[in-house]
Amino acid sequence: MKRSFCLVVIFLATQFLMAFLVTFVVNLPSLWRDGELNVSTLADNPSALGISMILTSIVVVAVMTVLNWTERRGFQWRKVPLKAYWGAVILMIPAIYMVNVLTEKLSLEDVNQTLFAGLMSNFWGVLAIVLAGPFMEEIVFRMGIQRHLMRRHLFPWQAILMSAFIFGVIHGNPAQMPGAMLLGIVLGWLYWRSDCIWLSVTAHIFNNLIGVLTFWIPGLRDRQMSDLVYGGTWGLALSVVLAFLFFMIVYRWLNGMLRQDQSFMRRIRRRQ
């Protein structure tokens, strides 16, 4: 638990430091001219916020690498069959749908709505949301926290749930927390079952990409899932049931494939 706590502190501290650094650099002209620092720079400047997020991702991963809190074996993407990556993407489709329906029904306050709208309309913001963020978060919460918890003799399901809970809470946005926790369980399972960080990174990137594309596509930005389903409440309930069944079918197929692949890799390592 000590390392998990340290990782959360490093994650939050780096966010603060990079935010201060970018704010300072952007305000250098006004500091030189008027001696004033605009503390709301990141909120008003999506490019600055996006660059701050990207720098946070780079620094956090670098610190974990220096501290030897990453695992080289977990970066071997070729040990996972290519069809497993497609399977992870397909698995996320019903998962994203069910999570979005739940989030809409909970009607929790979205305190970051304006910030994300700015980020998704900006090159640096999109780069941070779709690539830098998912990669860094999977390194921290799956390879860092979840793997460490399992090595501390927690059952895999306990480590997955705990890391997913931390992942949800760390978002700090009521509207995101339940969905982040649930998707964190799926991402944690993908990492545990494959022993490869790239599988969960791929799924995470796909999830965030869908969010950005939904924002970009005219007519979808402000619509809810219930608006896209015929039949009202019953139609929505049926769609969730069908999504769950589809999720379980893909899960069972992917689980069998990855379990078989893991057994093969263990035999190879024993021979070596």
Token pair belonging to 5: 């706590």
CA triple 135-140-142, angle to 5 deg: 90
Average pLDDT, the chain: 90
Nearest to 19 by CA among 45, 48, 61, 62: 48
Half-sphere exposure of 29 (CA within 13 A, CB side): 1
Could you tell me the pLDDT band of residue 2, with boundaries at 50, 70 and 90?
Answer: confident
Rounded Cα distance between 172 and 57, Å, is: 17
Q: Which comes out higher in pLDDT, residue 123 or 267?
A: 123
Judge whether 79 and 198 are in contact, CB under 8 Å.
no
Q: Is the pTM of this model over 0.85?
A: yes
Lowest mean pLDDT among 43-57, 208-222, 235-249: 208-222
Which residues are CB-contacts of 7 (< 8 A; sequence separation ≥ 6)? 64, 69, 140, 144, 145
Per-residue confidence (pLDDT) for residue 49, from 0 to 100: 95
pLDDT tens, position by position, 79-88: 899 999 999 9
Token pair belonging to 172: 């700090």
Helix, strand, coil abundance in the chain, percent, nearest 5: 80, 0, 20
pLDDT above 70 covers a percentage of the chain that reads 95
The pLDDT of 243-266, averaged and rounded, is: 83
Judge whether 270 and 264 are in contact, CB under 8 Å.
no
What DSSP line would sit under 161-192, residue for residue?
Answer: HHHHHHHHHHT--TTTHHHHHHHHHHHHHHHH
pLDDT tens, position by position, 160-193: 999 999 999 999 899 999 999 999 999 999 999 9
End-to-end C-alpha distance for the chain, whole angstroms: 33
Per-residue confidence (pLDDT) for residue 262, from 0 to 100: 61
